[in-house]
Amino acid sequence: MSSSKVTETSRGDTAKCHLSIASPTLPDLEALLPRLRDIWASGELTNGRTVAELERAVENLMPGRHVVAVNSCTSGLMLALRVLGVQGEVLLPSFTFTATAHAVVWNGCTPVFVDCSADTLNIDLEDLQRKITPRTTAIVAVYVSGNPPALEALESVARKHGLRLVLDAAHALGSSYQGRPAGTFGDAEVFSLSPTKTITTCEGGLVSVRAPEVAAKLRMGRNYANPGNYDCQFVGLNARLSEVHALVGVESLKMLRPNVEARQKLVRLYKQALAGVPGVRFQEVRAGNECSFKDLSLRIVASEFGMTRDALRAELTRAGIETRTYFAPPVHLQTAYKTWRGTYEGKLPVTEQVATEVLNLPLHTRLVPFDVQRVVEAVEAGAARPVRARG
């Protein structure tokens, strides 16, 4: 079988070079230095003017919302659930990064795991609605790889049942749903700015909320919930973002649109080149939605491809190509969640199946078409191997 060839950009003999799955896109260091010196001289190193500048810049991308910068997406999720008063049962996918569930459990809530869609990899609406009980207080949905879930439907379900809707948008800065940008849905959306994301602050996160009073509580909560007199109003966190990290974010935000477009272009090359390979399923992005493609997630269906996902991954590793298997194991099968394993094992069939199939290929702005072609050829080589040699 042959792929439609990607236009090559010569990089010399790179066949044996390591190809990383991710690489941060960073602003020019020299451009940062004048303002970095100002921060250094001011002695204002955290939650200062640069943090506020980053928050205002992101608010311009999310009309009608209030944005609070924090030191990680995880702490943002923890604080969002806390200040929204979420208790009791919380519906969330098991096919997600563990931080989604960690934030729920850290708040003393009971996670109720919901299956996912094999096509979009996002939360399954029918399974979610079946699991709503009088004890349910909130839904936490996820943009898997930046792919928007069914946001209007989720908002409708939340309104109907009087539930909070929090979105783990760690992957989603630069995504949109039916023309509306990520960050403008639900009670809160929480973004990651760690090094693998569309832009970075080295480490950090952003919380976008609808209500100004919630934003005020978040600002207090990121500083232990200390209003300034050391009489803490609730159990908060040290979730402050430093001025240095915020400066990296302010400069990186200028690159958000070009970074997303570069990722989308690379994904189109992968899709075109692998379109004819049996058993390769790309994550479906619904018509009218835009995915940031923090990751390139595809499924390897062994019965059609002729090799398991893990066997293919081993072949790619031998070829010097780094991959990831997000999210395996899914949360409900992880050691930290053994309390709930007996309740859910075998009862989230799509999640458990796709967790054995999803493979994430290299995707970042340093890649060129030649790199994509190298990955494509390695995948095709795995598919073309005789059955007796397959794992």
Question: Residue 6: pLDDT above 70?
Answer: no
Q: Percentage of residues in the chain with pLDDT exceeding 70?
A: 94
Q: How do residues 206-236 score in pLDDT, each as one tens digit?
A: 999 999 999 999 999 999 999 999 999 999 9
Q: How many CB atoms within 10 Å of residue 190?
A: 33
Instruction: Check if the beta carbon of residue 78 is closer than 8 Å to that of residue 107.
Output: yes
256-389 maps to CATH 3.90.1150.10: yes
In this predicted structure, what is the pLDDT of residue 383?
Answer: 86
As given in the structure block, the two tokens for residue 304 are 């059609």
Long-range residue pairs from 190-195, CB within 8 A, at least 24 positions apart, any chain: 190/73, 190/76, 190/77, 190/80, 190/166, 191/73, 191/76, 192/72, 192/73, 193/73, 193/245, 193/249, 194/72, 194/73, 195/22, 195/24
Q: How far apart are CA 248 and CA 34, in angstroms?
A: 12
Q: How far apart are CA 366 and CA 20, in angstroms?
A: 10
Give the separation between CA 67 and CA 189, rounded to whole angstroms: 9
For residue 1, what pLDDT is reported?
A: 39
Residue 268's φ and ψ, nearest 5 degrees, are -60, -40
Between helix 49-59 and helix 243-253 the angle, nearest 10°, is: 30
Task: Give the closest residue to 51 by CA, choosing from 61, 39, 40, 63.
Answer: 39
**Each residue of 56-84: pLDDT tens digit?**
999 999 999 999 999 999 999 999 999 99
The percentage of residues in the chain with a pLDDT greater than 90, rounded to a whole number, is: 93
pLDDT digits (tens, 9 = 90+) for 78-110: 999 999 999 999 999 999 999 999 999 999 999
Report the 10 Å Cβ neighbour count for 338.
10
Architecture of the domain whose range is 29-253: 3-Layer(aba) Sandwich (3.40)
| Rounded Cα gap, residues 250 and 58, in angstroms | 9
Q: Which of 308, 309, 296, 303 is nearest to 278 (CA)?
A: 303
Predicted local distance difference test score (pLDDT) of residue 17: 80
Mean pLDDT over the full length of the chain? 94
Question: Which residue is listed with tokens 């602050």?
Answer: 201
User: What span, in angstroms and rounded, lies between the C-alpha atoms of 303 and 289?
Assistant: 30
The band of 4, judged by pLDDT with boundaries at 50, 70 and 90, is very low
pLDDT digit string (tens) for 122-131? 999 999 999 9
Summarised one tens digit per residue, pLDDT across range 172-213 is 999 999 999 999 999 999 999 999 999 999 999 999 999 999
Return the closest-CA partner of residue 91 out of 124, 45, 65. Answer: 124
* Domain map (residue ranges) of the chain: 29-253, 256-389
